[in-house]
Structure 1
């Protein structure tokens, strides 16, 4: 009898074969996710910076239009009153008639508007004006034609009456640019920005001037309104762009008008204020941006929106320059600069968090893989030990069953085989005892029978092993086949969805060959043409891979078988949320009052065809009025009373008759009386204290809703309980709008 030699080949443990490939796949997926997360974060920085800069530019543009329109509008009102004889500014032998009346008239207007000067200069050399240079005290300036000391400054009481003369000085109308320039132009203009030195401090102002005529169209002189440009700086500082960002205004000659920084737009030389050139600014951001702009062949050459990136002090800045003009001759440059790191800090933090979660998932998956492989391998090791024991002659072996169906079948088969072998050997032992008496005569027969029995035993063991191994392979193939089929089936759906999306993009490009700049920029950044070409290839390659895996699994199963898947439609809620984000700094708690709670009760609104920017302006005006009303209602409260009497703004949206949408904005502030509600949408009417409101916000809002959108704007209020504004606009654009 030949001896069989078994050689042990070098093989990998099943546990390693099960765990390592899946761990490598998970690690590769984690690395890819982290890389893509970082790249997507960097790409999002540019988009976010552009959105912030564009929004800031829009806010400043709207403020300038609103704020700078007041002086020219008031000049027109006063010029019309003079021409019609309503306001008599004529002169007689005694000089300017009705000095007291004209002074009180301008004094009343100064109470109503946030201006620093209103006055007239006549061709006779005389004139009269009302000034509020320090922002608080109102004085009347009255002058005759001939110096010296022909100007007298009068203090006033609470009714506008002159009380005493404060100062006197020399004055000639013909020497002042705010007088000579509109007379020479013979039309309303903005005079050259002036800088004066007053005891209260330097005074830098822009004068809106226009000629005035009598009823016979004879030139009487001019009328002017001044605005203090430092107030523009206060507004720019109120913009929440970033701590190291800057917003500033320049004239075409490079001189600063206003800035969001702490620096003033003038400098003191020998105790005399002079305009400050932006390139001479102490603010390094303003200075370097101005020098860069000067390199564009001078400030005069910038005629359209210009944006670029600039490195300042080792940091990258996004810079946007927009020319700002009006019909009265203003020609300024609006500059917005935002540092890149204002966005990257949060994105880097989010990327690190995403990578941390991915690695945590890798660790958890690896641990689960180890436990799962141990759970699968342990029953196989028990079978291996029992088989070795049987091969050593210990036939009394049983294997514990497994919760895995295929391994359980293999264990039962092994136990049945062991039982049959044990019974067979028991029977042989009995036969051996019976045959001992016939040993001599049947020794040869017994040897032959024993040899045959041993051969039969080997064949049975081999057959049972192959049967059990086939069932194990079939079970493993079945377990692999399930997730592969799941992936393969979903790939078909994914391919269909991606084809539908790409077809939709192509259809959109076919019928909209000139999309808005934002879409063009986004398409270029994502390389849309390459994506349309490469995405089907990626899906096809993934499908080929799953097909190959399915083929391998099918082969294993076959092997183991024993018998045989501009005016556009917008989201109203997005506009409201953007507006609330801008006003977030006013909603937060302050030392003197508690936080203003905003409750949003949004309905399911369809996209609405509207002028999105103008509609957002309406939301801004109404929400600012609501915040002002809430602050006014708690201005005299103690800290505890402010906490107990909480401030609240409720915003509700809904669909009306399927063709209109309604937006209701309510507050629990001081409310408005029935009498004032009748005038709430009148131009220049305001319920706010002096200097806090122009009276144009709600009038403009009413015009935007009713005329621009063909909608309705209503106000409902109860004193002491609050105010609610209700906006209703059609979902689709009407033909006559």
Structure 2
């Protein structure tokens, strides 16, 4: 067999590896450059798409928010629809806050009122009476003063409210929707396109009052896209599912003015050649683009140049369904990447030449000490352990020689210590085995505790059911004890009567009377029956309180006594309210007003009382950790429950405590789901959120929190006496 020298083995593979590395680096540099272009383009496109989506979500949510506010204001009487002039002024003030083209309402009577911004700057007030053939010019547009009051008529127009889509479509839908995009052209004002957010408004009897509208400029979306593209290459445009442009980042508008009308453009008809070609190739490469539901990425050629294209659907909850298209040319990135690739290849070849020259000298320097080490190793392999190796000028080889010498010494010592180590190892194995046995025992103990915990949890549920089931037998026993007392008293009277008339009974009777201690029985039996009656009464109170709190037999909404629910909740919490070793009892003050029976879901409302009272107790106990017993006795813990009926339609419950209060930052988030300030394991953060839902959504009421740090906290619950559904019936 032919052997290679160490010097050749170091130089030849080293040179081949360097050459392969240089070639691979050059190739990967080129490929990575291409991938970097694509990744950078994808990242930039996604970033732009994200900015566009965020802007669309924020900008197009404003009209529906305004419509929702105005619908609520009409239902609550803040806006009087019969006073159109005051309503117009109200809408004028809203227009000062929101960048909208129109805000107003259209009534079922044909009347309308609103504020408009036709030139995108000046706000005017529109007032419309019902349209008739005899009154064709039924809409009057007024200029306003600085306070929004109408001053002079600037225009009149004809507007049949009841036949316009801004009224008919939301009224037919019965919910908030977007009316189709419309165009506006008036020689006196700049042309624009806009969309109207309509929302029907109903009275308490669900009769339609009218439709509130808020219109928004869509032309300003193009301004946003142009600002987004400032100092950058590429284009962004938004189109509807039929290909009609909504907005674009080019300097060309998404519509054209033809005479006195505005015609919206399709993307494939845009005067911008890049936008037009992009739209055409999208339609060619994606046959189902009109029903596209997921983001699509394309690479297309336009005028001989590669473009990276992203088409992303955008929808909202009110019916808009658009496509956002972002395109970026490859040339924006490739020039710098190509220059970097060439520089990388040149540097790699230079590194190859330097590495080969240095490899030859390095191999010669390394092989000499290694040869000496090789000879010493062969001698040790033959059994001669008394070997030493001379050091080298190379630090690593010198350390290797030193390590070899130490190894030879330790090898000799190891043979002598091997037997002792084996014995020590056996002892360690025995000790480790004992530790594992102890760990297994502890694990089994923990498992038993976990099983017992599960049993206790199941037992708790069983006890809750048993408490319900013992109600009837306890009532039976409690009711019959009264009769047993009467029967026993009659029997005792009869025995006393016998003792009076037959003071000297026969010996058998006398013996039995002494055996049963008849005198003690006559005295103790009434007391025993009274104690039994008191005990069964206490059991009935506890069962009644548990049933009153859980209301498990009252899943439906019905009229109940609120005070009864509060009292049952306090009874259940009595173990936390009574005196503890580290504090006196928490003082509970009930200031009950005269309340009617309230129609509610009693079990759920009792849950609200439980959550609020439990949190109040937690807050007091947490504050007590920073106070001494003397401080607590001087200023004891107090909880006050006050009920009242502000009017015949509402009741009010205020639960107050003199705890540390709630900071403003925490109070703002107290009703958020999963928000809690308690340590992990002591609070889930859903109690107050559920309480808010029960009061506000389930009972159409209000739950407010008022707190001053250091002074205490008030929770104010307001619910209607009768629920709205039953009132309408």
TM range (shorter): 0.3 to 0.5
Please report the TM-score for the alignment, with normalisation by the length of structure 2: 0.47
* TM, length-normalised to structure 1: 0.47
Compare relative contact order (CA 8 Å, sep 6+) and give the higher one, 1 or 2.
1
